[in-house]
Amino acid sequence: MIVVTGAAGFIGSCLVRKLNDAGHSDLLLVDDFLREDKAENLKGKLRSQDMDRDAFPQWLAKNGETIDFIFHMGARTDTTEQDTEIFDRLNLNYTKAIWRSCSEHNIPLVYASSAATYGIGDKGYDDVHEVVRVLEPLNPYGRSKNDFDKWALEQKATPPRWAGLKFFNVYGPNEYHKGRMASVIFHTVRQIKKTGGMKLFRSHKAGIADGHQSRDFVYVKDVVDVCYFLFQQNFPDGLYNLGTGKARTFLDLATNTFLAMELEPNISFIDTPEDIRDTYQYFTEANMTKLRSIGFNQEFQSLEDGIKDYVSKYLAEENIW
């Protein structure tokens, strides 16, 4: 049996689709299933059992011998949340409990880390383990992810195989429930439908023009392909970046969203909200050398192709993948 935590969420539900399409239906799906806004993400997807996230760690400790592999995608991902107790409980300590059971029962583990661990980016975006101790994330979410990465690298008792995936800016279907945390592509389509235009954040940093803030945007279908690759392969334990390796501007993103909707771009700028202005990343770009070195040779979709697929197949009619 394969476990997917965060299974009703964005990346988790797309991973369930990938596993189903690859012929896997003996799945244990873990999430907070009281969230009705996420229920649509699992409609029609095959699995053996659903389990509430609060019950799972204790169940796993007693029944780990029944599990073949765990994808731990569940986390509190709100980058504006300031309550560190929430992150300690749901991101740090919860993941430690899963790690310990995987170590005891010899279960391979792939878990979600984050590019938010890199903070402002002054120490680069290299997934070498030596840099983890000196990274300075910009918010409690990023700190919780980096705290677990540090803890994992210190452990002598480990799962038989493990990887922490540092997700960069993931976009794609099944993010309808994410609200403010949904991708800019999602919000662009919603704004265009409502107003005919899109407002991007103005730059508040000298030398960077409005709309030229850059991120490494990666399509969720590529993300779950990497997850499935790790499921099938033996690989060196450790942290792995998961982006495309190529930063693109928000202006590129918005422009291509208009084009995917067959509309002329109508883009203007507003001030970045003050509550996130001081912790706003102006550039991210994954060094993808490590993942490539273990044999993942598939090309990532370009921003143009990913947006076209996302908009035309999913956002146009608000379909689920």
What pLDDT is stored for residue 80 in this prediction?
64
| Percent of the chain at pLDDT exceeding 70 | 99
199 is catalytic: no
Distance CA 239, CA 255 (A): 33
What pLDDT is stored for residue 108 in this prediction?
98
Which residue type occupies 125?
Y
Summarised one tens digit per residue, pLDDT across range 10-67 is 999 999 999 999 999 999 999 999 888 999 999 999 999 999 999 999 999 999 999 9
Residue 172 pLDDT level (bands cut at 50, 70, 90): very high
Mean pLDDT in the chain? 95
Backbone angles phi, psi at 138, to 5 degrees: -90, -10
* Burial tier of 293 (Cβ tally within 10 Å: 0-12, 13-18, 19+): exposed
| Percent of the chain at pLDDT exceeding 90 | 88
What pLDDT is stored for residue 73 in this prediction?
97
Judge contact between 235 and 224, C-beta under 8 A: no
> Ramachandran region of residue 227, left (φ > 0), alpha (ψ -120 to 50) or beta?
alpha
Domains along the sequence of the chain with CATH: 2-171+218-245+285-300 (3.40.50.720)
Give me the catalytic one of 96, 150, 178, 308: 178
What does the pLDDT average to over 293-315?
98
Summarised one tens digit per residue, pLDDT across range 61-115 is 999 999 999 999 998 776 766 778 777 788 899 999 999 999 999 999 999 999 9
Cα angle, residue 75 at apex, residues 71 and 80 outer, rounded to 5°: 150
Summarised one tens digit per residue, pLDDT across range 131-156 is 999 999 988 999 999 999 999 999 99
171 is catalytic: no
Summarised one tens digit per residue, pLDDT across range 215-260 is 999 999 999 999 999 999 999 999 999 999 999 999 999 999 999 9
**288: nearest Cα among 276, 297, 279, 280:** 297
Summarised one tens digit per residue, pLDDT across range 274-293 is 878 877 889 999 999 999 99
Give me the catalytic one of 94, 111, 141, 176: 141
| Alpha helices (H) along the chain | 10-21, 56-63, 84-87, 94-105, 140-154, 184-195, 220-232, 250-260, 274-277, 289-293, 303-310
Judge contact between 125 and 286, C-beta under 8 A: yes
What pLDDT is stored for residue 31 in this prediction?
96
What pLDDT is stored for residue 274 in this prediction?
87
What pLDDT is stored for residue 38 in this prediction?
94
What pLDDT is stored for residue 44 in this prediction?
95
* DSSP string for residues in 217-234: EEEHHHHHHHHHHHHHS-
**Residues in CB range of 29: below 8 A, 6 or more apart:** 3, 4, 7, 8, 12, 16, 42, 47, 49, 50, 51
From residue 23, give the alpha-carbon distance in Å to each of 6, 27, 47, 228.
20, 11, 11, 12
- Of the chain, the end-to-end C-alpha distance in Å amounts to 22
